[in-house]
Amino acid sequence: MEEKKKGYEAKYSQYSFPDVRSCSYGEHRKSQTVIADLDGTLLRGRSSFPYFFLVAFEAGSYLRSLILLLMVPVIGFLYYFVSEAAGIHLMIWISYVGLKLKDIEGVSRAVLIKFYVDDLHSETWKVFSSFGKRVVLTANPRVMVEPFLKEMLGVDEVMGTEIEVSKNGRATGFLKKPGVLVGEHKEEALKRWSMGGGCPHVGLGDQATDFPFMALCKEGYVVPPTKVEAVRKQDLPKQVIFHDGRLVQRPTPLNALKVLTWMPFGLMLSIFRVTSGSWVPLRHLPLFYKLTGVKLIIKGNIPEQPKQGDAGILYVCNHRTLLDPVTVAIALGRPVPAVTYSISSISEMLSPMPTVALSRDREKDSANMRKVLKQGELTLCPEGTTCREPFLLRFSALFAELSDRIIPVAVKTTTSMFHGTTARGNKAMDPFFCYMNLSPTYEIHFLNEIPREMTCAGGKSSFEVANYIQRLLAGSLGYECTHFTRKDKYRLLAGNDGIVPAKESPASTKRW
């Protein structure tokens, strides 16, 4: 097998292609076609392991991702000493076998796009993006890469490895003919594609197994294995605002080992941290957080609790995790009630403060929140859902009608290993994943109370107040305002509107 691979590489060593940096690009390429490989060419990373691991972890389980990680030496041996196809097929089999196709597609769209974008090769992208017609030829499963390539890079056609799916919609782990798309299979796929349409103008690849299809193009360029910067966010055709998945860092084998090794210990630590609200007095929670590694940074002047008979104070926060109202209450040093929607019974049970359960009935919700405000204070997040990136979603205007005393609260979170939010997964695990990070950081910044003339009492409409506070918080955080809503997020990441049946609530407040 090893001799066969060496012979194959020797066969194509006769080809000599110039560096991709010598390829001309610009407006004169708009009417031309480019065809490119993915790993090591359009992406800086030459290994597809991180993306298979993400599928195994997000659509599969801890055990599946652990097996994939343990098989890395075997995969490497097959890849380098037998064939590239054998190594890739083993990763596909471990990551995919038994999974529902819709789950693989969901991870590809909601999770992988973010990681692919962060690894986009800047030199190759300059060339690739200047062409009018873009085609990608890759050994990776088409189902895994197509959402990223078509939705983010404007690729017209993707030719990749096709997986076999059973009648009940589950991946079998096997492949459709001709198998893994490498070497001569890429060459054959390109010949079929270009039949009657002429050869592509430019072919881009990074290794000898790409030479067969590159040789069919009018021009061919090699992407050398040198370190380059990823494409800057401002140079991307689209911004990634919504994404899902639990992992923060790209799971290289080393990062994957760190994650899987830490998770059992991190889970025990997170249970200790999350349940603290039910047995540690609220005034002692800042010290408890400090002792257990949670960093709580409080900025601005902490408002005093309204006296009986005074107008209630409404704390309006941007939304980063389920724990936002908890950390605001801890920062204030008192159990300020919070508005909640569709949270789990576990979160309700462990909350250190009361909550107001929303029903999505405007009149009913408004009446319940006004009733709580008469008692003094209330915290809410008018975005209606969390956003991980430095953007603020559109603010619901309902809150502006509730009180003329509004204090914006800017919330920032920093995690190193796990995201504490999900659109597709089990929401009951959100606070646990957030506190599974070794040292999560929460920054709470109390801004000045909104001037009366900028409230509804000052003649402003509720929409003007909501937009004004959204801009104010965005400016404080260094974020951008958007018009996206909860529905937009859930339609993109989960394929639904994010609407769940409201829980029955006999009173205006309940324990969270």
In the chain, where the domains are located: 30-235, 253-511
The helix or strand, by DSSP H or E, that contains position 340, with its residue range, turns out to be strand 338-340
pLDDT computed for residue 503 by the predictor: 46
In the block, residue with structure tokens 């471990």: 94
Give the dihedral sign, CA 450/462/500/425.
Answer: negative
CA-only gyration radius of the chain, Å: 26
Q: How far apart are CA 145 and CA 108, in angstroms?
A: 7
The residues with which 339 forms a beta bridge, in sequence order, are: 356
Q: Which residues have C-beta within 8 Å of that of residue 451, sequence separation ≥ 6?
A: 458
Query: Alpha helices of 376-499 — where are they, by DSSP H?
Result: 430-434, 462-477, 486-493
d(CA 364, CA 502) in angstroms, rounded, equals: 12
**Does the predicted model carry a pTM greater than 0.85?**
yes
CATH number for domain 30-235, candidates 3.40.50.2000, 3.40.190.10, 3.40.50.300, 3.40.50.1000: 3.40.50.1000
- Segments of the chain with pLDDT less than 50: 1-2, 501-512
Q: Considering only CA atoms, which of 152, 222, 159, 163 is closest in space to residue 194?
A: 159
- How far apart are the C-alpha atoms of 259 and 250, rounded to whole Å? 11
Task: Give whole-number Cα distances, 511 to 65, 278, 284, 346, 435, in Å.
Answer: 37, 11, 20, 11, 21
pLDDT recorded at residue 511: 32
pLDDT score at 278? 85
